[in-house]
Structure 1
Amino acid sequence: MDRKAVHEDIERTRATFHALLACATNEQLRRRSNGTLWTNRQLLFHMLLGFLIMRALLALARVVASLPDWVGRGWARLLNAVTKPFDAVNFAGSWLGGSVMPRSAMVVLFDRTTAALHRRLDREDDRGLARGMPYPTRWDPFFREFMTVADLYRFPVQHFDFHRDQLSLG
C-alpha cells in the first residue's frame, strides 16, 4: 500500500469538499443531483458519510478478521440479504443529514474525520493493513467480496469521486 498516495487522495477529497461547499449557492445546493433522488446538498452529505463510516468499517474488519472465515462469509451474506432495508436507511440518513446539517458543520465534520483517518493510517502496521473480511457486494459498487484494511482506506475516496460526478452544481 502506498500510504503517501492514500494520504494525498484523502487530502484531495477534503480540499474538493471544501471548494464544493464554498462555491455552491443555496440554489445550486437545493437542485436535484444527476442520477440520484437527492439534492446536491444531500448528496454532499452522503459523500461525507462515506468517510464517517470508516471508523466502524475499520473496527468491524479487525474483529471479523480475528474470527473463523465462515463467520465473515455468513456476515456478508446476511448483509447482502438485507440490502433493501440498508438502501432505505442510507437514503433517509443522507436525505435528513443533508437537509438539516449546516454547511459549516459538514466542513468541520469532514475535516475532523479525515484528520482522524490520517492519524489512524499513520499508526497502521503492514500486518494490520493486510487483515480483512468479506463484504456485502450489493451494498456499494466499490465493495468487493473480500477487502483488506488497506482496501478500506481507499473506499471513501472512490465513493467520493463517484458521487462527485453526480453533482449538478453547474
Structure 2
Amino acid sequence: MGHKTSEQQPVDRAAIAAELERARSVLHELLDGASAADLARRSSGTRWTNEQLLFHMVFGYMVVRRLLLLIRMFSQLPEGASRRFAHVLDAATPVFDEVNYRGSALAAVVYNRHRMGRHFDRVIASLQRSLARQTDADLQRNMSFPVRWDPFFTETMTVEQVFRYPGKHFDFHRQQLTLN
C-alpha cells in the first residue's frame, strides 16, 4: 500500500513552480497576440481551431488536479488496483479520444479567448498552492497510467511527474498552433 518509489530523489519544487508560471505567461502572450481570425483558424495536425487547441492546452493543467486526487486514492490501495484501472482506461481509448476532442471544442465556447486567461490564472494558482502543500513523500506517490491516452503518460507516474506533465503537453500542442 502507499506506493512510493524506492529511490526518493530531492524534488526541485522551484523548477516546477517556475514551469507552471512560464505556461501561464506564455498562454497570456498567445491570447494577447492573437486576432479573432487567428483563433478561428485551424491548427496544424488537429481537428481543433487555434482557440479550441488553446483551451485543450489549458485543460491539460485542469486535469492535473483530478490526477492528484486519483494518485492519493490509488496509492492507498494494493498496487494492482491502479494497474487494472489503467488497463480499463486504455481499453476505452477510442471513446476517450472522441470525448477529449468534443469536450475541448465545446468548452472553448465557454472558456473562450475572453475567459480562458483568467481561468488559467486560477488553475495555475491552485496548482501552485497544491505543490506547496505536498511533502517529499507525497511527491513520490505513484500509480499506473493509461499510456494510450497521452504520449506524455508513462506506465507509472509519481505526483512529481504529474506536476511536470502538463508543461510537456502544453509545449507539444503549442507547436501545432497556426497563430501569426
Alignment map for 1:26-45 (pairs within 5 Å): 26-45=36-55
Question: Given residue 132 of structure 2, which amino acid in structure 1 is its aligned partner?
Answer: D
* Alpha-carbon distance, 1:135 to partner: 0.1
- The CA deviation string for residues 15-34 of structure 1, in whole angstroms up to 9 with x for no partner, is 00001011100000000001
> CA-atom RMSD, angstroms?
0.8
- Deviation string 1:24-73 (CA, Å, 9 cap, x unpaired) is 00000000001101000000000010011111100001100110011111
Segments of 5+ residues of structure 2 without an aligned counterpart are 1-10
Tell me the equivalent position of 1:115.
125
| Alignment partner, residue 14 of structure 1 | 24
Q: Which structure is higher in helix share?
A: 1
Runs of 4+ aligned structure 1 residues displaced above 4 Å come to: none
The count of corresponding residues between Structure 1 and Structure 2 is 170
CA positional deviation for 1:11: 0.5
| 1:59-70 matches, cutoff 5 A | 59-70=69-80
- Which of 87, 90, 93 lines up with 2:100 in the alignment? 90
TM-score by length of structure 1 reads: 0.98
Give me the whole-angstrom Cα distance separating, in 2, the residues matched to 1:111 and 1:101: 12
Tell me, yes or no, if the aligned pair for 1:142 and 1:159 is still in contact at 8 Å: yes
By how many angstroms is 1:101 displaced?
Answer: 2.8
Supply the distance in 2 between the matched residues of 1:48 and 1:26 (Cα, whole angstroms). 18
| 2:135 aligned partner, one-letter code | D
Task: Report the alpha carbon displacement of residue 99 of structure 1 after superposing the two structures with TM.
Answer: 3.3
Q: Give TM-score, length-normalised by structure 2.
A: 0.92
The runs of 5 or more residues in structure 1 that have no matched partner are: none
Kept in 2, the 8 Å contact 1:134–1:147? The answer is yes
* Aligned ranges 1:74-89 → 2 under 5 Å: 74-89=84-99
**2:60 — aligned with what?**
50
